Amino acid sequence: MNGNTKDVHRLAIDRPSVERGLGPPQLAFVRSWAEGLELASAWDRYLYVDGAADARRARGELQRLLEALGRLARAHGRPDLAALLRRDPRAIIERDGEQPTLDEFRAQQPADFYSESELIELYQAKHGALDSRSTARRRERLRGRMLAAIQWLESLVARQPSPADPVAVWLDERVAARLAGVGVQRLSDLTGLIASKGFHWHRAVPKIGAEGARRIVRWLCEQSATLGALPSPALQARAEVDTRALTPSPRDGIVPLERFSPPRRLDGSTGSNRAPLARCKLAAQTDYDAIGAWLRLRVEASHTWRAYRKEAERFLLWAVVERRKALSSLDGDDCVAYRNFLAAPGPAWTGPRNTQRWSEAWRPFEGALSPRSAATAITIVRSLCEWLVRRLYLDANPWDDVPQRPDAPAMPQLRALSRLQWQAVQCWLEEGLADCPAARRLRFMLTLAYSTGMRLSELADARVGWLRHEQLDDGAWVWSIMVLGKRAVWREVALPNSTVAAMQAYFGDRGLDADLLANDPATPILAQLQANAALSPARIYALLVQGFERCADDLAPRDPRAAQRIRQATTHWLRHTHGSHAVAKGVPQDVLQANLGHRSLATTSIYVTAEKSRRQRAIELAFGSPEA
């Protein structure tokens, strides 16, 4: 929202022509000018929502507002006021004399300390009275007449913003264009976006930064009398919001797991499929407690934990709200119904993507699940029920009576980039990016993820204290990183020298010691640009995915198929890419298994598909051509 930005991103939007608002902030801005306040100061004081102070933009906005007031005056039969507003008090030149002019005297005083009348009174006390024909008196009279005109016009038009008002009526046209690009046309759309996305809502809008977002939110809060109050969690960072302490559940009961409180008859304490309480190995009285015990087996906030919570949450909510049964009372018919439900959850169960869990707009689904996602969901809830049976909480697994769909999807194709596709990404990183801190961080982030195969949560958690520099028996010094992975198990991952060199350069870019081990052990390996604070897993994911999308945009004209593949890539693709490329380059499977932290060698064996091209060429050579 900086007015000095030369390369302004303008979006072509289809919206009706609108008259920019003449509300209290705009009229206060004009009054301040009429009173003699500097334009830049008046802009910062009253129009901060439109961006930082900028003399050129401030003059343009003043001219627009004066023209709008002039049209209003003429429409109400006062062309004299329209002519008056075209005058500029500062255009009245001070007469020459031995005593200082009023402007010169003003420059000697503290900036914006005295009003115009106070300044004249002080000037007269020091340099003598001014006659009625003096420049200062004429200027003061003109300002008084202009203020009276503005106040009269304000009584005709001043109004508070309404939720139905187009955003372009109240906000800067460039800000309005950027918001329109993501579907925000009216003020109600804007408050809805903030109410659902929360503190970092601006990340969904191109070229609106954190400071600009704070200005907009501050203005909306000031207009809460007519626009409605923003929910308090939307004004806090997500880590500071305790969703369990929020307002009671909505009437439909579809709320996040931590806010869910079913009636006693549906909480599972008397479920028809409960095993005898005397034999239960869980300290759980209700289905909610049992799910909590199951989730505690995973590392909280890890990718697996979030995936398991999501599916258990959906299953429990559906059982109580849709089926009107406790989870521990479900049978095979209910499970079949749930399987069908996943293909079409319905509008009451779906909501916008990435809606915050504290928002009343939150829903457990974004839409119907694909066959592959539905199969994954059923596998997770089936394993939940199986575990509850083993812990003697449930008497039987209701999913045992539900066969797998005959059309269940086959094993998915390994989601990894080929060596040529990865080379295209590397070429773009070196040649397609401007040399700036953000680009250098992205290069190192991709290098680290590709060369180590670390998971997203592991990249976010990695610290300098995890690094090791040791001498082997043959005298060689090698680098490695100890990684805290799934099930809170440590593993050692070898670091190639090229990755260590990239890390040293990246640390130097952050103002850290190039001697990696000389830094504070708590220093995060990947950090924010403005501080050495850790990046969240969600932020790392967003940066890498955005990087892949930009690379795909650059590559599309030359190789559309490769660009389409790169556009699909995620952080987990980098882990698979590491594994498949390692096998193709001859890394033994047991070494790769240890590097990736797989419990079973069978999991690691999926990367043997990296040899597919070599096998394909061999078979083609043997059988592809007819014998001579």
* Residue 601 banded pLDDT, cuts 50, 70, 90: low
- The model's pTM is 0.50
Q: How confident is the model at residue 158 (pLDDT cuts 50, 70, 90)?
A: low
| Cβ atoms of 347 and 363 closer than 8 Å | no
* pLDDT score at 14: 33
Mean pLDDT of 436-459: 93
- How many other C-beta atoms lie within 10 A of the C-beta of residue 533? 10
Q: Is the pLDDT of residue 609 over 90?
A: no
Sheet holding 467-471, edge to edge: 467-471, 477-484, 490-495
Distance in angstroms (rounded) separating the CA atoms of residues 411 and 606: 11
Average pLDDT over residues 154-166: 81
Question: Are residues 410 and 341 in contact, defined by beta-carbon separation less than 8 angstroms?
Answer: no
Partners of 483 in beta bridges = 491
Predicted local distance difference test score (pLDDT) of residue 10: 31
String of DSSP letters for 24-71: HHHHHHHHHHHHT--HHHHHHHH-GGG-S--HHHHHHHHHHHHHHHHH
- Euclidean distance between CA atoms 551 and 554, whole angstroms: 5
Q: Are 459 and 524 a contacting pair, CB within 8 Å? A: no
Distance CA 303, CA 301 (A): 7
Helix-helix angle 303-317:287-295, to 10 degrees:
170
Q: State both tokens at 206.
A: 């191109």
Q: What is the mean pLDDT of residues 234-256?
A: 69
- Distance in angstroms (rounded) separating the CA atoms of residues 176 and 17: 13
pLDDT in the model for residue 245: 59
Average pLDDT of the residues in 434-463? 92
Which pLDDT value is given to residue 606?
A: 62
For 437-497, give the secondary structure using H, E and C. HHHHHHHHHHHHHHHHCCCHHHHHHCEHHHEEEEECCCCCEEEEEEEECHHHCEEEEEECH
Nearest to 369 by CA among 341, 347, 335, 410: 341
State which amino acid sits at residue 186.
R
Look at residue 409 and tell me whether its pLDDT is greater than 60.
no
Residue 18, pLDDT score: 41
| 168-177, 266-275, 613-622, range with the lowest pLDDT | 613-622
Residue 219: CB partners within 8 Å, gap ≥ 6?
A: 25, 48, 49
The mean per-residue pLDDT over the stretch 380-399 comes to 95
- Other beta carbons less than 10 A from residue 379's beta carbon: 13
Rounded to 5°, the CA angle 358-360-362 comes to 75
Amino acid at 368: A
Is the confidence at residue 13, as pLDDT, over 60? Answer: no
Q: Could you report the per-residue pLDDT of 423-440, keeping only the tens digit for each?
A: 999 999 988 888 899 999
Of 511 and 100, which is predicted with more confidence?
Answer: 511
Asked whether the beta carbons of 249 and 259 are under 8 A apart, the reply is yes
DSSP type of residue 464: G
Query: If pLDDT is split at 50, 70 and 90, which confidence band does 154 have?
Result: confident
Kindly state the tokens that stand for 449: 């993820």
Among 30-34, 408-412, 425-429, name the most confident range. 425-429
CA distance 27 to 21: 10
pLDDT bin (cut points 50, 70, 90) of residue 122 is confident
- The yes-or-no verdict on residue 568 having pLDDT over 60 is yes
Q: Per-residue pLDDT for 490 more than 70?
A: yes
Give backbone dihedrals phi and psi of 545, rounded to 5 degrees, phi first: -65, -40
Residue whose structure tokens are 């690691």: 604
SS3 at position 264: helix
Tokens read off for 590: 């047991």
284 confidence band (pLDDT: 50, 70, 90)? very high
Separation of alpha carbons 546 and 395, rounded Å: 48
User: Which of 113, 112, 3 shows the shortest CA–CA distance to 53?
Assistant: 3
Q: What is the rounded average pLDDT of the residues 146-165?
A: 84
* Nearest in space to 448 (alpha carbons), one of 496, 516, 491, 517: 496
Is residue 233 within 8 Å of residue 198, measured between CB atoms? Answer: yes
Segment 278-282 mean pLDDT:
92
CA separation for the pair 17, 15 (Å, rounded): 7
pLDDT at 532: 86
Asked if pLDDT for residue 53 goes beyond 60, the answer is no
The mean pLDDT value for 144-159 works out to 83
Percent of the chain with pLDDT strictly greater than 70: 84
For residues 292 and 531, which has the higher predicted lDDT (pLDDT)? 292
Residue 495: its H or E element: strand 490-495
CB atoms near residue 576 (< 10 Å): 21
**Neighbouring C-beta atoms of residue 55, cutoff 10 Å:** 12
Give 124-133's long-range contacts (Cβ < 8 A, gap of 24+).
127/99, 127/100, 128/99
Across residues 323-350, what is the average pLDDT?
A: 94
How distant, in Å, are the alpha carbons of 467, 483, 571, 591 from that of 488?
Answer: 18, 9, 21, 20
pLDDT band at 408; cut points 50, 70, 90: very low
Structure tokens at 553: 């945009």
Contacts of 405 (CB under 8 A, 6+ apart): 339, 371, 375
Quick one: three-class SS letters along 496-558?
CHHHHHHHHHHHHHCCCCCCHHHCCCCCECCECCCCCCECCHHHHHHHHHHHHHHHHHHHCCC
Answer yes or no: is pLDDT of 9 > 70: no
Q: When comparing pLDDT for 337 and 302, which is higher?
A: 337
Query: Within a 10 A sphere around the Cβ of 559, how many other Cβ atoms?
Result: 15
